[in-house]
Amino acid sequence: MEMDPREVEKQKDRRVKAAAAIILMVAVGLTFCVVYFDSLKRMGTDPAYARAWFEAHQPYGSIVYCLVTVIQILLAVIPGEPLELAAGYAFGAVRGTLLCFLAEGIGSAIVLAVVRKYGKGIVRLFFSDEKWEHLKFLHYSPKRLLLFTVIFMLPGTPKDLLCYFAGLTDIDLNKLIILCTICRLPAIVTSTVGGNALGNQSYLFAIGVFAATGVLSVVGIATYNYLVYRHNR
């Protein structure tokens, strides 16, 4: 049965508005990066400067960090690990973890709410139909909530892609927001602890953290690929 042309037009208008809102947030973030390019560049090589900069710009520095992290979640195709490392590097392990957890929770909630409201058209702004097909089993599996939880907890899995896809399911939105926030915590902690170790020049400890994280990520990615393969045979 064909949809009412007016309903089709309304859905298209909603997608355009959602896309415009995301583009606006991205533009704000990119503008900040351009304006403070020299400072950001120096932060990458000078931990003391990074920490001093954020401290001198409080609470602005923390707000900016959270904004950039939220934008990263919305874009999804940009890796989030460097930002998590930067949080530990600049703010320390505890404060960095809290900021990451807050920002990634907000970003996840926005993604889920937008996708739930505007549908697959928003997902297609960032991901190909091929990626959608690979994860389609999560949409229909009676154990989809458990599968989402397990896959989200695994290190190395594409959590931002999964967050977008989760919004297309009929799982309760509040449960999804909790899942997509809480299950990011292990990856956040390992990254911020490693970043903090680098900032304190505890290089041996940092290497140990990154080595352990790397091994877990390999296992996580292999497990994720196996689950996708198994359910798409």
pLDDT at position 75 is: 76
pLDDT at position 51 is: 67
Calculate helix-pair angle for 185-199, 203-232, nearest 10 degrees.
160
| pTM for this predicted structure | 0.76
pLDDT at position 163 is: 87
Q: What is the pLDDT of residues 40-95, one digit of tens each?
A: 556 555 556 666 777 777 777 788 788 878 877 887 766 778 778 888 888 888 99
pLDDT at position 1 is: 47
pLDDT at position 89 is: 82
Residues of the chain with pLDDT under 50: 1
**Domain boundaries in the chain?**
5-232
